[in-house]
Amino acid sequence: MAEGTTLLAVGAMFLALVLAGVLARRAGVSVIPLYIVAGIGVGEVATGAAGASGTLAEVATMVPQPDSEFVALGAELGIVFLLFFLGLEFSVERLLASRDRLLSAGALDLAVNFPVGVAIGLVAGWSLVEAFVLGGVVYISSSAVITKSLIDLGWIANAESEPMLGTLVFEDLAIALYLAILSAVVLGGGDLASAAQGVGVAGGFLLVLVAGVVKGEALFARYLAVDSNELFVLRAVAVATLVGGIALELGVSEAVAAFFVGMGFSSTRHLEALERLLAPIRDVFAAVFFFYIGLTTQLELVGAVVGLLAVAVVLTTLSKFASGYLTGRRVYGLDQRRSVRVAAGLVTRGEFSLIIAALVAGASSPVLAETIPAFAVGYVLVMSVLGTLAMQYADRIADVIPGAT
């Protein structure tokens, strides 16, 4: 399809997302896997019907195509807004206020789960960089799904919410640093000289952003001080997308840039207004991001990594469960039942695993460009459903596990 994406195709995309949402509600699972499935379904219709004739071919021209620039751009906005919110909700003061337990919880989580992913990659015969990417994909839990489930199950008012949210706060910082390193290593590319130059430019840009976050609070606050919701939203969106765009031009991940912009705004008094007014925009574009991930997924590539997937699902479910249980039990001193809930709750992987995969999809190595994105889609589909189920049955799991006291 050479011509651009039509309004009809965009409408079809949102209709598919609406249906996915309805199904998710019915089945009592997170919307994320179903948004992805909706994308996969539409992608299959678009490509599968290319050779066909008649009605099917007619339909295929009406839906978004996998190479649609519009959907890709919408997905990019989804990444920017997801990370912008992560930055908004990230507070250094909070990290420092409860640093003892939070850092122990976060370090435990990182030290257990990240190496498992790296090891799986190395055993599969991948390079160190490729294994490093896999480590990130399997390490990071899904803040969006886990937080939502905490609220839905009413755990938010219980003691187990603290270690879970604490671990997620640490992971948020870890993922920002990780993406910064990854984009320098992977996107830098080319020969050594240009890579070094790229890293230099990227590092300089990030330094400017960090300085802006540290010193620019008054500036950020004044920028948003406007007595109109419309102008307020526009100003916030403008700076998030513009800084993200500049970052991308300079070879820095737009996700990291958006994270820092969000962090810059987080210490201003506009925090609550930002969260309230921008959340709907984030949700729309995040849905487009998940749709895009599904749309560009080639099922035969996912099929080729089924063995690897099975190994990773088993090992990383167990490792996350172990680190979560220890966090609850040892670091936060919870009882056995609540520690099992922490363990079950952190199993879900989601948006960040996909963001990592999307970041490396442009690389030249076939593992990074094809295998890991396909792996990430299959992995997130399984882990998001498995994680939600684990949370629902956490108390029964706790009955089975002997209560070591």
* Sites of contact with another protein (CB under 8 A): 89-91, 94, 143, 147, 150-151, 154, 156-158, 161-162, 165-166, 168-169, 272, 275-276, 279, 335
Residues 6+ apart with CB under 8 A from 51: none
Return the number of the residue (89 or 130) whose C-beta is nearest another protein: 89
User: Which residue type sits at 59?
Assistant: V
Q: Which alpha helices (DSSP H) does 154-228 contain, by range?
A: 161-182, 188, 192-215, 217-224
Least distance to another protein from the beta carbon of 171, Å? 11
* Distance (Å, whole) CA 270 – CA 250: 29
Find the shortest distance in angstroms from Cβ 342 to another protein: 14
Structure tokens at 216: 């620019």
Kindly tell me which of 102 and 108 has the beta carbon lying closer to another protein. 102
Name the minimum Å distance from CB 241 to another protein: 22
Contact present, 261 and 87 (Cβ < 8 Å): yes
The four Cα atoms 319, 325, 328, 330 give a dihedral, to 10 degrees, of -90
Say how far apart CA 27 and CA 290 lie, in whole Å: 19
Select 150 or 360, whichever has its Cβ closest to another protein: 150
Question: Min. distance of Cβ 275 from another protein in angstroms?
Answer: 4
Shortest Å, Cβ 236 to another protein: 15
Nearer to another protein, 97 or 192 (CB): 97
CA 37, 255, 92, 147: dihedral to nearest 10 degrees?
Answer: -10
* Closest residue by Cα to residue 242 from 209, 285, 267: 209
Nearer to another protein, 211 or 279 (CB): 279
CB of 169 to another protein, least distance (A): 5
- CB of 37 or CB of 394, closer to another protein: 394
